[in-house]
Amino acid sequence: MESGFEPVSPEIQGGLRIQREITRLLAPVALPLVALVLRFGFRYRIERLAALRADYRRLCLQNSDPTIICANHLTLIDSFVIAWALGSPWWYLRHFRTLPWNVPERTVFATTALLRGTMYVMKCLPIQRGGERRGITEVLSKLAYLVSQGETALIFPEAGRSRSGRVEVDSAATGVGRIFKSVPKCRVICVYLRSEHQTTYSNFPPRGDRFHGRLDVIEPKTDHRGVRGSRDIAHQILARLADMERSHFDDRK
């Protein structure tokens, strides 16, 4: 197990605890609101919603190992839809650690004070993809700390929306691998979620569309160290997501 990151300072740990508690306090309002917007505002539906949530519940209750959720990425609101697909507001209120922390793109989701505030209370840590490396590492180290404390993190291993509309295994970023290596006994829940008329990447899934989802647990292993090891782990996760994508399209035939 590689150490991965500089230890998170007590001040930052305290800040994250405060953010978590504020988020928890507002969750009884925020979580149902998000679910209502997705269901009745965007009129999205999720096929086999109960089964998907049951699978996630089972995995969460099975053990309390540190968990990273890794998913395919096609739209700006994927993290919201994924959280909605995996659990009801009621479930998250009772098992708050299973509501994943997200890393939305800072240049999209943190441009105004209102957006920044909204992201703050939605368990988000904005990140600037392609930005200064130290800034990215700082956010990743916070995520690694949270995961090590029993929180759940949602990460897109492609580090951006897939431009081809399909899982791009060769686009593996190293962030997820770096977090995985730094947290002992970490497990990865792969989530593949896609709406029926989502042909390529976009800002939002088509209004009124029906989503199909599946999830699987993997435990990546690598003999490599350093950057190569991180990339290897991300590759394994994306390869699994690509398999899930093939199954998704096979089922749709």
Residues forming the site for other proteins (CB under 8 A)? 2, 4-6, 129-134, 137, 159-160, 171-174, 178, 181, 225-228, 230-231
CA–CA dist 221, 202 (Å, integer):
33
Q: In the complex, what is the shortest distance from the CB of residue 108 to other proteins, in angstroms, rounded to a whole number?
A: 16
Between 171 and 236, name the residue whose CB sits nearer to other proteins.
171
Q: How near is the Cβ of 227 to other proteins at its closest, in Å?
A: 5
Residue whose CB is less far from other proteins, 117 or 130 = 130
Strands 187-195 and 45-46: unpaired
b/e code 148-187 from CB counts within 10 Å (16+ = b): beebbbbbbbbbebbeeebbbbebbbbbbbbbbbbbeebb
**Smallest separation, CB 224 to other proteins (Å):** 9
CB of 43 to other proteins, least distance (A): 34
- Contact criterion met (CB below 8 Å) for 72 and 190: no
Cα–chain center distance at 253: 28
Q: What is the DSSP string of 74-104?
A: -STTHHHHHHHHH--HHHHHHSGGGS-BB--
The least CB distance from residue 233 to other proteins, in Å, is 11
Beta bridge partner(s), residue 51: none
- The two three-digit tokens of residue 21, written as one number: 């508690």
For other proteins, the closer CB: 4 or 206: 4
Nearer of residues 27 and 70 to other proteins, judged by Cβ: 70
Nearest residue (CB) to other proteins, 31 versus 234: 234
